[in-house]
Amino acid sequence: MAQITKFGRTANGGLVQRVMLRSEEMHVAVLTLGATLQSVRLDGVPYDLTVAAQNVADAEGAMCYYGSLIAPVVNRLTGAAAQVGGQTAQFEKNFLGKHVLHSGLSGAQHQVWDIVDVSDSALTLALHLPDGMGGFSGNRDVTARFNLNGAQLQMDVTVTTDAATLWNVANHSYWNLDGSPDYAGHGIQVAADHYLPTDSEFIPTGAIANVTGTDFDFRALRSIAPQQPPLDNSFCLGSAQEPLREVLMLRGTSGVTLRLSTTEAAVQLYDCRHDAFAAVAIEAQNWPDAPNKAGFPSIELGAGQSRTQSTVWHFSKE
């Protein structure tokens, strides 16, 4: 059975547990607060591959996005509003006083999830998001299943809603494969011909730009460093969910490599500029601000509908 320990208590007294999953090649820790991927250790590598909070205060505070599952809507919604089921919905303005970022202060990353099933190498967490929470409609029942197999971790997130709602989730882990102060020297490759330019407020402009001739052409493995280039953009992998396929590779100078597979239509890269470029955030998701941009894939779910998103991280060391 997986090792389950007390991680601490939230500011309002909620118990946060840490679940350690193990395989013959690695071990992974998940927190019940935010369904957070808190530790990823590959055998033979003497440091953690992900950057995450080491106590509840940080997990609730400045590091609430580190490794957590952002839901119901990751990224930004312009003007903290969107059309849902033909009606205009208003959300919390928690970004620059006028937009919503990562679903606001009531997002799933701020909630303590329930453990519903656990074994040595697998964990299923569940969360109920009530109608109207954060301005998002529908009673939504969510499960997040983590399954560790060798050097591969798979996360499957399933939601069911009883009313029309918006749904675009992502694991928000930060990766540094060298155990170094920043990610300088990491190489990255992304199977994306297009990316989404943003304005000065990091909102997609609505343009869908070809990567050719830009700093955002990662179709071949390429070295990156802080601000070379600045990263807070989504890369377009398609226009709808697809079967699991490999879309991204991150390789450290140490020889540790992460290969990401996803069902989703985009992957967001963020350079952790707020924390000295300590790691790279890689967020498999749908296109951001989709309800407010003509031609972007829909993130709306209808009453009675369900949706499953899958993400796979595969690790190796040369």
Q: Which residue stretches of the chain are H helix?
A: 56-60
Amino acid 212: pLDDT: 98
Helix (H, G, I), strand (E, B) or coil at 79: helix
**Both tokens of residue 203?**
């909102």
Domain segments of the chain: what residues? 3-317
**Both tokens of residue 316?**
């190796």
Q: Closest Cα to residue 186, out of 105, 256, 99, 95?
A: 256
Amino acid 109: pLDDT: 98
Q: Would the pTM of this model clear 0.85, i.e. be above it?
A: yes
DSSP for 86-154?
Answer: TEEEE----BTTTBEETTGGGSGGGSBPEEEEE-SSEEEEEEEE-TTGGG--S-EEEEEEEEEETTEEE
Amino acid 260: pLDDT: 99
Amino acid 35: pLDDT: 99
Task: Estimate the share of the chain in helix, then strand, then coil, as percent rounded to the nearest 5.
Answer: 5, 45, 45
Amino acid 1: pLDDT: 76
Amino acid 67: pLDDT: 98
Helix (H, G, I), strand (E, B) or coil at 56: helix
CA–CA dist 138, 128 (Å, integer): 10
Domain 3-317 bears CATH identifier 2.70.98.10: yes
pLDDT, one tens digit per residue, over 46-104 is 999 999 999 999 999 999 999 999 999 999 999 999 999 999 999 999 999 999 999 99
List all residues 6 or more positions away from 188 whose beta carbon is below 8 Å from its beta carbon.
218, 221, 222, 224, 248, 249, 250, 251, 269, 280
Count how many Cα atoms sit within 13 Å of the Cα of residue 214 in the half-sphere of its side chain.
Answer: 18
> Tens place of pLDDT for every residue, the chain, 318 residues?
789 999 999 999 999 999 999 999 999 999 999 999 999 999 999 999 999 999 999 999 999 999 999 999 999 999 999 999 999 999 999 999 999 999 999 999 999 999 999 999 999 999 999 999 999 999 999 999 999 999 999 999 999 999 999 999 999 999 999 999 999 999 999 999 999 999 999 999 999 999 999 999 999 999 999 999 999 999 999 999 999 999 999 999 999 999 999 999 999 999 999 999 999 999 999 999 999 999 999 999 999 999 999 999 999 998
Amino acid 318: pLDDT: 87
Amino acid 11: pLDDT: 97
* 246: phi then psi, degrees, rounded to nearest 5: -75, 130
CA–CA dist 165, 171 (Å, integer): 20
